Amino acid sequence: MSWKLSAITSREAVEQALDRAEGWDEALVLAAFEVDPDEPDVWQLDAYCEGKPGKAERAAVAALFDGNAPEIKAEELPDADWVSESQKGAQPIRAGRFYVHTPEHPASEEPGVTSFCIPAAQAFGTGQHATTAGCLEMLDTMRADGIVPRDVADIGTGTGLLAFAARDLWPKARYTVSDIDPLCTEAVIDNALRNGIPLGTEPGKVVAMTAEGMDHELLHARAPYDLLIANILAAPLIELAPDFAAALAPRGSVLLAGLLATQESTVRRAYRRHGLRLHKRIQRGDWSILWLRARYVG
């Protein structure tokens, strides 16, 4: 029989726990997800193991929460391939011209629709979450409005999905993607190969790196960017406002997500201080997706 350890807490706490999972024991397989769409800040972290978890396994999961661990419950599971089962439960989603599915589901055959295959085990950035789907819609809107970026950066890229979608819209641009978690960098490379996305530094290709925010030589070297994408959390979005503004080309665009509608005014105010104004917005449930544009200087 297999078992799992589960902890329910805030989305921010779960994301921070996953950030701390670098070098994680592969005998415990981690998965995270939103518990209820009506409560978007409540998330669950699961750690699957082959045998009954003991003190060591509980301590390992608790350590991911850095001394603030919520209640951790153990549950015995019937025999099953839980990775495959979880993927079967992740239904494909359609957002704009994009269709996101797991390996267990076929690509869309609808004309004019681009399909991306992303494993469901990669909890963040699969398109299942409202912010990711909203970003896909906004990218489609940008293209329809005549935006043609030459240099694009996706900060906190997760699976690489948003950069892949942008490349489908603007195949001649250069794409620079980064994430603070080295496991995400590996996921980007795997997903690029899975979806036929070329890797490299030339136009039309994607280069991936591990970096905190904009703190990487290549990110600085490839600036200024015509389009910056960041689907993370409100607090780091606010902190990154001056760095994003400094790395943005005149009349450049910033796509922000991962913030609740109640946090939108604070985020917009932070970017307004650096010359970026709201151009368009989408609200999906409790979440805001913002398209900001820089004023022309010259």
156 is in an annotated binding site: yes
Contacts of 213-220 with C-beta under 8 Å, sequence gap 24+, read 213/155, 213/180, 213/239, 213/240, 213/243, 214/155, 214/240, 214/243, 214/244, 214/247, 216/178, 218/176, 219/153, 219/176, 219/178, 219/247, 220/247
The annotation status of 140 as a binding-site residue, yes or no, is no
Residue 241: Cβ within 10 Å count: 22
Is there a binding annotation on residue 181?
no
Distance CA(41)–CA(51), nearest Å, equals 31
Closest CA to 134 of 259, 36, 33: 259
Closest by Cα among 5, 60, 64, 9 to 34:
9
Residue 179 among known ligand-binding residues? yes
Is the bond leading into 224 cis (omega within 30 degrees of zero)? yes
> Which are the contacts of 26, defined by CB distance < 8 A and separation ≥ 6?
none
Contact status, residue 119 vs residue 103, Cβ threshold 8 Å: yes
The annotated binding site for S-adenosyl-L-methionine is made up of: 132, 156, 179, 231
Which residues make up each annotated binding site? 132, 156, 179, 231
